[in-house]
Amino acid sequence: MRKLEKISFSQFSHDICDDKSMYDEYNLPRRATLKSAGYDFYAISDFVIHPGEILKVPTGVKVLMNDDEAFMLYVRSSMGFKYNVRMTNQVGVIDADYYNNSDNEGHMWFSLQNHGDKDFVCKKGQAFGQGVFTKFLITDDDIVTDIRNSGIGSTTKEG
């Protein structure tokens, strides 16, 4: 099963703000056309990224997917071409076990950097990123027994 969901209002309040109307109003990602690969993410509120600045942008979204899939986060192509805005990690890889983790429910964020020479302005409801589902393969001799027990960066934490 694949599904994009809002994080709980409790997590939204913790990560973003305690505004129920803002929570109720924002849109889940969706594809723009029948042949679009990516699900567009929309700004929950207005934001500005000044030249040279890095901004962590919350999505209010988590993703449920099959165990042999990943959800890849990318900046929208037009932002790179027109404004020289990029993701600081270039591509976000969301693993299936990130969903509902104990740290943040699997809340996905975009870390964006403005490499351009003018402010990048994004209005509430404007698409700024995209996510693409992809299958992945493992080696025949792959043996992994560890499980995720927290959020971002937790697959490299030692227990």
Give 65-96 as a DSSP string.
Answer: --TTEEEEEEE-HHHHHHH-EEETTSSEEEEG
- Residue 31 pLDDT more than 50? yes
What's 44's DSSP letter? S
Identify whether 18 is part of a domain: yes
- Angle (CA) 114-116-120 rounded to 5° is 60
Contact 99, 158 (CB under 8 A): no
Give the domain CATH number at 60: 2.70.40.10
Domain count, the chain: 1
Examine residue 157 and state whether it is found in any structural domain, yes or no. Answer: no
- Give pTM, 2 decimals: 0.89
Q: Give tens-digit pLDDT for 106-154.
A: 999 999 999 999 999 999 999 999 999 999 999 999 988 777 665 555 5
Residue 151 lies in a domain: no
> What range defines the domain where residue 65 resides?
3-137
Q: Is residue 23 part of a domain?
A: yes
Q: With residue 22 as reference, give the H or E element that holds it.
A: helix 20-25
